[in-house]
């Protein structure tokens, strides 16, 4: 109507990654506060960040972040579930102007995990290390196998040295992710 002021969409203030990850549906206009959040890994479109015991994928945010950076302050964006993977994504208000980004040479410590932990949907978007695991190639895909459970080892970051033969005693460090209902690891290192 003529003369009416257009409504302004208020941002939903979220005080931590734990609170953000508690959301169960796509939510636009989030004002996220981060306290000593650590950049775990920067890929081409995805930046994985841990704060306390929670982690999330910052997807195509346009923020200039490097591995091991420490982030404090607030940033605006949208919360999205992409094939069940929680993401914090860029919107028209996403800027780094209220963030303090501090470079660090101290690498994030991976969480010691098991295949059972990951299949229980623990550590999504977080950096984990699986020790002395069995790897098998089935139907042209590589899996980490533990007892009767397994998770796919998916080379999203182009590591290119995934195991090609069945072997035990691999140590694998990577980012835990979910695709629909399937748990996966994006490896960063395999030894």
CA dist 82 → 86, 91, 145 (Å): 7, 16, 26
Q: How far is it, in rounded angstroms, from Cα 64 to Cα 137?
A: 37
| Alpha carbon distance 111, 1 (integer Å) | 56
4: confidence class by pLDDT, cuts 50, 70, 90: low
Distance CA 131, CA 174 (A): 12
**Poorest-pLDDT segment among 79-93, 108-122, 129-143, 171-185:** 129-143
pLDDT digits (tens, 9 = 90+) for 54-64: 999 999 999 99
Does the pTM surpass 0.85? The reply is yes
Please determine, for residue 165, whether its predicted confidence score (pLDDT) is greater than 70: no
Work out the mean pLDDT of the chain and round it to a whole number: 91
3-state secondary structure of 79: strand
Instruction: Quickly count: other Cβ atoms within 10 Å of residue 159's Cβ.
Output: 14
What are 38's strand-pairing partners?
50, 70
The yes-or-no verdict on residue 7 having pLDDT over 60 is no
């Amino acid at each position: 109507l003529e003369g009416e002021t257009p409504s302004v969409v208020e941002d939903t203030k979220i005080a931590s990654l734990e609170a953000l990850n508690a959301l169960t549906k796509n939510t636009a206009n989030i004002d996220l506060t981060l306290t000593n959040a650590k950049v775990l890994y920067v890929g081409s479109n995805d930046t994985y960040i841990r704060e306390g015991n929670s982690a999330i994928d910052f997807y195509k945010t346009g923020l200039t972040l490097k591995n091991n950076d420490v982030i404090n302050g607030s940033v605006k964006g949208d919360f999205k579930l992409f094939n069940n993977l929680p993401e914090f994504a860029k919107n028209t208000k996403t800027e780094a102007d209220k963030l303090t980004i501090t470079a660090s040479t101290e690498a994030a410590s991976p969480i010691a995990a098991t295949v059972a932990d990951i299949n229980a949907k623990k550590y999504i978007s977080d950096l984990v290390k699986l020790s002395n695991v069995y790897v098998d190639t089935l139907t042209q895909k590589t899996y980490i196998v533990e007892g009767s459970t397994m998770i796919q080892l998916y080379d999203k970051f182009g590591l290119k040295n995934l195991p090609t033969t069945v072997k035990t005693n691999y140590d694998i460090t990577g980012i835990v992710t979910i695709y629909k209902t399937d748990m996966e690891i994006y490896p960063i290192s395999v030894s």
